[in-house]
Every structure is written in C-alpha cells, then in structure tokens.
Homo-oligomer: A and B are copies of this chain.
Amino acid sequence: MTALSRREQNRLEKRQRALDAALTVFSENGYAAATMDAIAAAAGLTKPTLYQYFDSKEALFQAMMLVPRDTMLTVFDAPADTCHVTQLWRFSWAYAEVVMQPQFLALARLVIGDAQRSPDLGRAYQASGPDRVLDGLARFMADQATLGRLQIDDAELAAEDFWGLILSSPRNTALHVPNALPDRQTLERYVNNGQRVFLRAYSTKPAKDLAVLETLIAQN
C-alpha cells in the first residue's frame, strides 16, 4: 500500500514532532521570544533539519496554526434524530472538551497575542474556527425553530447566546490565568447552568425540556 514508506514515514513523523514542539515552545514563550533552537531541541532535531521541514520561523508558526483548525470543526456532528435537548447537551460537552484543552487555550492565546502583528492569522483563525462552529450551531437553531421546539428570531444570535452562556466565562478566565483550568465540577457548573438559562429563554416547552436536561445531567 504505502510502498514509499520508511523514508516517507520517517519524514512525516519528524514533521509532526516539529509541529508538536512548536506548539509547546510558541505557547510557552510567545512568537518573538520562542527560539528555533528551543523548538529544534524540543523536537529532538537539529536546527538545520528543522529548517528542511519549514522554511522559516514564520512558516513553522503558520503550519502549526493550521493543524488544529479541523479538529474544532468535528465538534458539531450532531446525529439529527435525537431530541434537541440531548443534542445541545452533546454539543456543549463536545465543544467544552475541545475548547478547554490546554493546547487549544495555548493556541488561542497565541492568536490573540499576535493578532495585531499578524492580522491575517487572527482573521483566518476566526473564520475557520469560531465562525464555522457558530454557523453549524445556527443552522441547528434554525432547524429547531422550524420544528417548533425553540422560539427563535435570529438563529445566529441564538447560537452566539448559547455559546456565551455555556463557555465564555470559564474560557475567558482560562485565557487570562493559565495553569488554572477549571476542574470538571466547576466546568459542569458553567455548562449546565448555561443550558438551563438558554432553555428558559428559548424553549417552547421550558418545563419539559428542563426536566430532560436535569435527567441528562444526573445520568452523567
């Protein structure tokens, strides 16, 4: 199958090691303070070898930034038939688990910290990350409105409300204060509360939906 293996495989593995090392070093030091020496060392490569994989510091940075974009998008693969409360609940946790990962937070810090220096990067991140997730969520909201389950004027705003309710607070704190990730319990407090408030404001049958939500919460 992959006949050209060995060499090719070796290259890919080293490339990956370089990208991982880059994430570590860049996020610990910021773009300018990160040195290619440090990245090479962290990747177990020599500097010239590192340069064989990436033409420049900037190129390595860009490549590293591209990696996790897609990951974020896998978040919203909702199986369409289930009850909307369950779907929101699943989405909430899928997203929370991606977004609150130390690596993801580190990346977000990098993007934000360098937004002024490289606006393209920030724009690209926004477009390919948050915007796409919100799009998916907005489509879901619109569908549920059509089905008469949610009472929604502006699906886009509803999607943003949902995200703002479940994750904005812990994520902001985590962005400011690294190494102080909320524990599971704290995170549940935010995420579950966010869903409750959302349903109170948007559900066409709040009492019933809230009951379903509490069941889901109790089960996990």
Binding site for B on A (CB under 8 A): 27-33, 106, 108-117, 119, 122-123, 125-126, 130, 154, 157, 160-161, 163-165, 168-169, 172-173, 175-180, 189-190, 193-194, 197-198, 200-202
Choose one: B106, B117, B169; the contact of A30 (CB below 8 Å): B117
Contact between B31 and A177, CB atoms less than 8 A apart: no
Contact between B168 and A30, CB atoms less than 8 A apart: no
Contact between B31 and A176, CB atoms less than 8 A apart: no
Contact between A106 and B116, CB atoms less than 8 A apart: yes
Closest chain B residue to A193 by CB distance? B157
With A112-B175, A115-B177 given, name 19 new contacts (CB 8 A): A29-B116, A30-B30, A30-B117, A109-B112, A109-B116, A115-B178, A119-B178, A122-B176, A122-B177, A125-B176, A154-B193, A157-B193, A160-B169, A160-B190, A161-B165, A164-B194, A165-B165, A197-B202, A201-B201
Interfacial chain B residues near A106, Cβ < 8 Å: 116
Q: How far is the CB of A18 from chain B (nearest CB, A)?
A: 20
CA distance A123 to B177 in the complex (A): 5
Contact between A194 and B114, CB atoms less than 8 A apart: no
Closest chain B residue to A115 by CB distance? B178
Closest chain B residue to A151 by CB distance? B200
CA distance A78 to B89 in the complex (A): 36
CA distance A165 to B198 in the complex (A): 10
Interfacial chain B residues near A27, Cβ < 8 Å: 116
CA distance A215 to B53 in the complex (A): 61
Choose one: B108, B113, B154, B179; the contact of A110 (CB below 8 Å): B113
CA distance A181 to B43 in the complex (A): 39
Interfacial chain B residues near A176, Cβ < 8 Å: 111-112, 115, 122-123, 125-126, 130
Residue with the highest number of chain B CB atoms closer than 10 Å, among A110, A173, A201: A201
CA distance A179 to B168 in the complex (A): 22
CA distance A28 to B31 in the complex (A): 13
